[in-house]
């Protein structure tokens, strides 16, 4: 597990559900501290319609504070978002397709088949522009609207990625329905599609299994975990939104097993405490309240 990468998605996935808009300078301060902690990538924002997701309206302004920072990523949903992302100079572009027809239409206005074709074409353009690209299958483990999502539909999207030469692939549990046994089976199936796949996992802790699912994905061969500082997060277009796996809890758990001891936990905890103070409520993370075990 020594090669595990941590992709901090709090400044994007963590904030997109909040009604209280975080000032740009505050976001920038939080992102700088998260980068300084030693996590591998920080997702700084998303290039989406500001009217639909007001928290992300300042993504260009946030990224402008960091220049061509290779340690930053951003989400794009369509061709316009890709155009903005390339112009902003962000080092890593994330994009994906929901395996749930209902969630796909609510999130992007497209059905699964159309979204797959467009995302594959966008990913190729981003790679040709010299950007690192991660593609994802959202609602891979279930959907709040549809319930169980057929595994073959998930793998069909993943195969389309692989056939297009895309090797950095995330399976995302948008609705928080995943259970560890299912996670392990699906990641093994994903990694069997082709050699050289870099598998990432993205879990929401809606039903309390987020951290357990991370370990199941690691057992199967995933090498990147996406998590959110303070346990913030949730998709505004799913039926029951739950926060992401909490970054400080994840890092604390890994470090107790001797893994990723290079990451500094205290800057993450500082941001978590600031997040709680800013929104005026207790966050779901455990370590921030209980304190770290030395």
User: Coil, strand, or helix at residue 112?
Assistant: helix
* Closest listed residue to residue 138, CA positions, set 80, 200, 193: 200
The single residue of 143, 201, 235, 246 carrying the catalytic annotation is 235
Measured between alpha carbons, how far is 276 from 213 in angstroms, rounded to an integer? 25
Question: 235 an active-site residue?
Answer: yes
CB 247 within 8 A of CB 268: yes
Longest Cα–Cα distance in the chain: 50
CB-side neighbour CA atoms (13 Å) of 61: 11
* Closest listed residue to residue 79, CA positions, set 45, 122, 134, 137: 122
Give the list of residues 6+ apart from residue 220 with CB closer than 8 angstroms, or none. 183, 184, 185, 186, 187, 188, 191, 199
CB-side neighbour CA atoms (13 Å) of 245: 26
CB atoms within 10 A of CB 115: 24
Which residues are catalytically annotated? 235
């Amino acid at each position: 597990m020594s090669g595990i990468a941590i992709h901090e998605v709090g400044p994007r996935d963590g904030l997109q559900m909040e009604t209280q808009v975080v000032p740009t300078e505050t976001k920038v301060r939080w992102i700088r501290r998260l980068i300084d902690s030693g996590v591998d990538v920080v997702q700084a924002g998303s290039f989406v319609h500001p009217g639909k997701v007001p928290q992300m309206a300042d993504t260009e302004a946030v990224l402008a504070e960091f220049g061509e920072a290779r340690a930053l990523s951003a989400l794009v949903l369509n061709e316009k978002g890709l155009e903005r992302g390339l112009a902003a100079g962000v080092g890593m572009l994330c994009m994906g397709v929901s395996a749930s027809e209902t969630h796909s239409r609510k999130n992007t206005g497209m059905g699964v088949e159309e979204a797959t074709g467009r995302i594959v074409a966008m990913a190729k353009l981003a790679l040709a522009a010299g950007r690192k690209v991660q593609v994802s299958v959202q609602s891979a483990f279930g959907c709040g609207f549809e319930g169980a999502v057929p595994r073959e539909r998930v793998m069909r999207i993943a195969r389309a990625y692989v056939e297009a030469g895309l090797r950095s692939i995330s399976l995302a549990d948008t609705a928080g329905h995943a259970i560890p046994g299912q996670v392990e089976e699906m990641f093994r199936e994903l990694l069997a599609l082709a050699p050289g796949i870099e598998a990432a996992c993205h879990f929401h802790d809606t039903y309390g299994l987020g951290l357990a699912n991370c370990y199941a994905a690691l057992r199967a061969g995933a090498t990147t975990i996406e998590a959110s500082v303070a346990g913030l997060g949730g998709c505004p277009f799913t039926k029951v939104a739950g926060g992401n796996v909490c970054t400080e809890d994840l890092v604390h758990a890994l470090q107790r097993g001797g893994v990723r001891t290079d990451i500094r936990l205290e800057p993450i905890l500082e941001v978590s405490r600031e997040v709680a103070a800013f929104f005026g409520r207790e966050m779901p993370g455990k370590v921030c309240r209980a304190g770290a075990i030395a």
